[in-house]
A and B are shown apart, each in its own frame.
Chain A
Amino acid sequence: MLRDRTAIVGIGQTRFAKHLEESEKALACRAVLAALEDAGIEPHEVDALASYTMEETDEVELAKAIGAGDVTFFSRIGFGGGGSCATVAHLAMAVATGQASVGVAWRSRKRGSGRRPWTNTAQQLPTPAQWTRPFGLLRPADEIGMLARRYMHEFGATRDHLFNVALACRNRANQNPAAIMYERPLTREMYMDARWISEPLCLYDNCLETDGALACVIVGAERARDCRQRPVYLHSVAQGLPAQHHGMVNYWNDDPLTGPAWTAARQLWKTADFGPADVDVAQIYDAFTPLIPLSLEGYGFCGRGEGASFTEGGALELGGRLPINTGGGGLSEGYVHGFNLINEGVKQLRGVSTAQVPDAATCLVTAGEGVPTSAVLLRT
């Protein structure tokens, strides 16, 4: 069992902006060195690395730039934002099994400056693109919009429910000086009048397009006690690729609305000492607002079809039933493939978030729902 045998002891990040001058590689190095500095660990002690398959700075480039030592474990996780928590999970497994002792996970991305991935027509995957792209279903927003419309139809969810999600994230960003949307409040009127992207999704249902990088440092529990910061333990970790799942175009099974979150959640709770009712704060992957109700259901905060109504009455706000995305999330802090959600979870359990949940001792962090996913349960 991995339970509490490893901990996150350092976090680091660059500034977030629509456009940063430095290269992705330089931003990656800055975030990693900041995380090591935060932990009080020398770069030459790093012997494990993990990132996303979409990360452009590879292990060789990163290790030699930061001055890592001999690296004995390195791992990449696929499926875009679905891999965020798995980077930490793989390092936890490597450290817990003695394959390495100091792990660094990171993500650096100039998604604000760079081109939108879906505009690259030369790099279309034949499966499943041959079944969608010719018909104008081009973008992740279209693919998730299809599921969102069906979800609204089956369960009576409305745009107001999606607005609840966008608003909670924006309100937290308004408390976070590092967030892109720090000084940009959102109103219901703005949301309802916003331009469409892919009906039923409007502009504010979509995450930001951000340049930035983040990293965190994982060590064994014993070492963690001697580090500079209060350790945040990895209580439980999980990945999820459900039977007959098809990625973001999950249109070809019995129930496309029961996504990878359900699979990851079963594993996550199986190896945890506590359950959804004991989670003080959650960082839920929010590339699109409908992913929140779907994830709330998958991770067991409510029953199937109840995710939308769960958002009512300020449930996702500070002081609500389950405060989420307390740094502003991908919707309003910055979209760096969900890595900012991991670091925000650590901040909450250190007690230093800009939107602190009083005495937060447990935090769920999730990766992208709707693609093969991952999640971690953090505790103090």
Chain B
Amino acid sequence: MDTMTAEGLLLPWPDDDGEPFWDYARRGELRVQACADCGRLRFPPRPCCPHCGSFEEEWRLMSGRGRLWSYVVAHPPLLPAYAERAPYPVALVELEEDPRIRLVGTLTNSVRRPNAPWNAVPPQRLRIGAPVQAVFQAVTPEVTVVRWALCSG
């Protein structure tokens, strides 16, 4: 499996537990692992439920709505492909369905622009608590990642 895109960005390297997340992302679905017995969501995915011990799992569809919990703006030194894009903001987004589930992702300025450059949103526009929406970007024919579109207004 490729570990990098043609441009030199690191691709996700899923473990057994994380594989379904990336399979669903490829279909344009944001799904989070949940216990099939007690129903609690959990992230990152793991073999069994820390609340009830069940190994039965399901992958629950999320709305893709969330809020900015925090963010950084990365500057060099960075790996070469990242340094080319710097400075770029990276968001940590809490999901509407469970604020303890927070996903890291790059930002885009519109749900219609999943392929916008990483610096499409100027950092001064970012506020903790701002609403965001998941969008899906196919970075290779096999791999799709989730990005976050800053909702206007």
Identify the A interface with B (CB < 8 A).
Answer: 116, 119, 121-122, 124, 126-139, 142, 145-147, 149-150, 153, 195-201, 244, 246, 249, 251-254, 256
Contacts and interface: CB of A to CB of B under 8 A. Distances in A.
15 contacts: A116-B77, A130-B22, A131-B103, A133-B10, A133-B12, A134-B9, A135-B90, A136-B85, A136-B90, A138-B79, A138-B82, A142-B90, A146-B70, A195-B75, A251-B102
B20 interface: no
Given A135-B145, A246-B44, A253-B100, A196 B73 contact: yes
A138 B72 contact: no
Contacts of B145: 134-135
B62 interface: no
Interface string B66-105: 0001111111011100100101101010000000111111
Interface in B1-50: 3-4, 9-15, 17-18, 22, 43-44, 50
Interface residues of B, number: 43
B151 interface: no
A223 B4 CA distance: 57
A199 B3 contact: no
B13 to A, nearest CB: 5
A135 B105 contact: yes
B102 A137 contact: no
B106 interface: yes
B64 interface: no
B128 A251 contact: no
B70 A127 contact: no
Contact of B74 (A134, A138, A195): A138
Given A130-B15, A246-B44, A252-B102, A138 B78 contact: yes
A200 B44 contact: no
B100 A254 contact: yes
Contacts of A135: 90, 104-106, 145
Given A127-B44, A150-B128, A136 B88 contact: yes
Contacts of B105: 135
Contact of B14 (A126, A142, A244): A126
Nearest to B143: A134
Contacts of A136: 74, 78, 82, 85, 88, 90, 106, 118
A142 B3 CA distance: 21
Contacts of B72: 137, 142, 145-146, 149, 198-201
List of 5 A-B pairs having minimum Cβ-Cβ separation, nearest first: A126-B15, A199-B73, A150-B70, A145-B72, A130-B12
A267 to B, nearest CB: 21
Nearest to B78: A138
A252 B78 contact: no
Given A134-B10, A136-B82, A149-B71, 8 more contacts: A121-B10, A130-B13, A131-B44, A138-B82, A146-B71, A149-B72, A150-B69, A254-B100
B10 A124 contact: yes
B77 A149 contact: no
B44 A199 contact: no
Contacts of B85: 136
Given A126-B18, A136-B118, A252-B44, A131 B70 contact: no
A132 B104 contact: yes
Nearest to A144: B72
Nearest to B85: A136
B71 A131 contact: no
A252 B75 contact: no
Nearest to B123: A199
B121 to A, nearest CB: 13
A23 B81 CA distance: 32
B75 A199 contact: yes
Contacts of A251: 69, 92, 102, 104
Nearest to B42: A252
Contacts of B11: 134
Contact of B70 (A128, A132, A138, A149): A149
B23 to A, nearest CB: 13
A265 B45 CA distance: 29
Contact of B128 (A122, A134, A149): A149
Contact of A124 (B13, B18, B88, B139): B13
